[in-house]
Every structure is written in structure tokens, then in C-alpha cells.
Amino acid sequence: MKMSKEIFLERINQIAPELFEITKKLYKNPELGFQEYKSSKLLADCLAHHGFDVTYPYILDTGYLGVYDSKKEGPKIGFLCEYDALPVVGHGCGHNLICTMSIAGAIALKEEVDKLGGSIYVYGTPAEENFGGKVQMAKAGSFDDLDIAIMLHPSTRNGLGARSMAIIPLKFEFYGISAHGCDPYNGASALDAAVSTYQGINMLRQFTKQPSYIHGIIKDGGQAANVIPQYSSLEYYFRSSTIEYARYLAKRGEEIAKSCAKMNKCKIKISEYEETYDDTKINYALARGLNEAFIECGLTDIEDVIETPKGSTDVGAVSKVVPTIQGNIKIAPANVNGHSKEMAKATVSQEGYNALINGGLALALLANKYLTSKEYQEEVWKEFNEA
């Protein structure tokens, strides 16, 4: 009798060429967040072809949901897909491989779900890079009934995931009065309000608890040197290890901007120009399960959970609703930077193909561990509820 790993690997090897073609098509035709119309349609059609009941679009114009239901009582396993690209570098974050690894794992799991009960949910989550498809889906209750949510991210290492930073994106817009540069007293400089805000927020950095990051740009600063600018704007990211402290920093930024607007006799408008991302809640029970799955796949040099957060991801929104893991799988050497053309090329290399197989297999093995062990289910949820 075949073991689950053999069944999964056999199924993944059958569909890997098809899924890798999709990975390559997305690589050649990268689409930015909320513009992934061709990518999402291709992925939704793939799931439908493999027996999933697909809702498309789902919640968002380029979102989808594929469900495979055994019609028997059991856990609901969520696989998360990303497929938005970056400007200039295309799929430099490897989202064209994230989606196909998740789909590989989900398809491989079908036979076990048929035997054991439960259901598989494959979520197409757009715009991870800036507009937070998962955040908006979480607000809509998409993940509320799941037992676990799992995914893997291409990387320069194999790893069990990492904490991420909460991020609040704020836009400060200043409205002054234009005047001739030789009659500045007739005007009110929106640029001066923006520059003084920039300087004030720079001074705030020294007084922040670590790890925290504040970074911003002057987006608009005027059109002509001899005209007092009537409009100027700044765009900022306020990041920290918790959403609570990120909100505190954002509030301090708002206070500085309002004071600078008043000082320069300008009006101010403050808005969130992108989606706010929560910090990621780590589930160490899922991390231990993924470690076992990686070892069973033959992967080595597996990094433990990285406790010091740096980047931000909308996976954080899912992790606050349901036990969630976003592990890493190696596709490139350590000297390759994330968000680079070199990383994008690695997704369609032989290493990328190997990651599609091993990543899909690891996700299926992790999901199967949850399906088959009541003890593991209790361990995962006990940690989630107590954290």
C-alpha cells in the first residue's frame, strides 16, 4: 500500500509540467496588484479543470476561491495563492511560484480528503505588494471558517517563516496659496509645510522603540521655482513589530504634520493611500509540522522561525483569524536579492521547478498531518488561542 508521501509525489509529478507552464506564463506576463486579470483567470481555470468548484471573481475583481469538498465532515484546509508582480522587476518576489506551489499541494491532497473527510479551499489573493487582498478578504470573513491557512514563499533559504512588521501607509497633503516667488508674503508654501513635516518626522525616529522603521518621500513639491507651491504631498510608511505601536507612530506623524501645516498657514488632508497590514502571528505548532514535512521532502539547512521582523505582508491579517504559516523555500543562492530580476529568473529555473515539486509536496504533507491527527489539531489551536 502506498504511503501518503508517495501518493502526493506521484500526483504532483503528473501535474508539475502543467503548473510550471503557468509559472512561466506569469513570469513572461507580469501584472501589478489588482491588475492580475489574465493571471487570476489562468489560475482559476486550472483549479476548475482539476475538479475544484471555483468562484471567480471572489470578493475582489482579481480574486478567486476554489473549493474541493469531500462531502464528509472534517477540517477545512486553506491554501493561499499570490500572483501580483512588481514594477520593473516583474515577479522578483516569486509570486508566480507561490500560487503554483499552493495549487500543487491542494490538488495532491484531494485523494486524502476523499478518504478522511474535510475540504480544501484555495484562495487567490491579489495585490499582496501594496493593496492587501488578504486584508480585504479577511474583513469580508473569507477565512473565518478555516482550520489552518498555509503557503510557501520562494527565497534564498529553506525556512519555517518569520515575524512581519505591521505597516500603516499615510499620505499627507498640504494646501497653501500660490504667489510669485518675489512676493512670497502673498502666499503660503505647501512645500515648506511638507519639508518641515519631513524634518519633524526624521527627529521622531530617535525616540522610537525598536524594531521600528519610518520611511517616506516628498511625492509632490511644486512645479516651478519662481512660484510659491500651493500643493505638496508626502507618502510615508510607519512600521513596527506590532500594529498597536505602528498606530502610535502614525499618530505622532499626524500630530507633527498638523502642527507644520498650521505653522505654515496651510490646510492638511491625511489619508491611507495603501492598505494597512497587521503583524504576523506565529504558530509554532505549524512551524514544527512544516519542519517535519521539509525533512520528509529531503530538504536541508532549514532555518527556524525568524523572530526579528523586517518586511510586511498581508498574511498578517489571515494569521489573526486562523492558525497560519508562510514558510520559505530556496530557489536561489544567498547573494540573490529579493525583489530583483535575478530572483524573478530563478522562479523559472530548474531550482524553481524543484521548488514547485518540493513545495507542493511539503504543503500537502503538512495539511495531511493536520487532517490525520486530532492531537495535532488541538496543539495548533491551543497555541493560537493562548498566544
Same fold, 4-164+278-386 and 166-272: no
pLDDT tens column, 72-128:
999 999 999 999 999 999 999 999 999 999 999 999 999 999 999 999 999 999 999
Superfamily holding 4-164+278-386: Zn peptidases (3.40.630.10)
Query: pLDDT at position 310, please?
Result: 84
pLDDT tens column, 153-209:
999 999 999 999 999 999 999 999 999 999 999 999 999 999 999 999 999 999 999
pLDDT tens column, 296-333:
999 999 999 999 998 999 999 999 999 999 999 999 99
Query: pLDDT at position 275, please?
Result: 94
Whether the CB-CB separation of 127 and 83 falls below 8 Å is answered with no
Burial class (CB in 10 A: 0-12, 13-18, 19+), 33: buried
Predicted model pTM: 0.94
DSSP state letter for 35 = -
**Strands of 64-69's sheet in order across:** 53-55, 64-69, 119-124, 76-81, 148-155, 324-330, 158-159, 302-303
User: From the CB of residue 111, how many other CB atoms can be counted at a distance below 10 Å?
Assistant: 14
- The CATH architecture assigned to 166-272 reads 2-Layer Sandwich (3.30)
Query: pLDDT at position 1, please?
Result: 41
pLDDT tens column, 14-56:
999 999 999 999 999 999 999 999 999 999 999 999 999 999 9
User: For the chain, what are the domain ranges?
Assistant: 4-164+278-386, 166-272
pLDDT tens column, 140-151:
999 999 999 999
DSSP state letter for 93 = T
Is pLDDT at 380 greater than 90 in this prediction? yes
φ and ψ of 146, to 5 deg: -75, 155
Query: pLDDT at position 4, please?
Result: 81
Query: pLDDT at position 2, please?
Result: 55
Phi-psi region of 265 (alpha: psi -120 to 50; beta: other; left: phi over 0): left
φ and ψ of 316, to 5 deg: -55, -35
pLDDT tens column, 229-255:
999 999 999 999 999 999 999 999 999
Query: pLDDT at position 306, please?
Result: 96
Query: pLDDT at position 293, please?
Result: 98
| C-alpha–C-alpha distance, residues 22 and 103, integer Å | 11
Q: What residues have CB less than 8 Å from 132, skipping those under 6 apart?
A: 274, 275, 276, 277, 314, 317
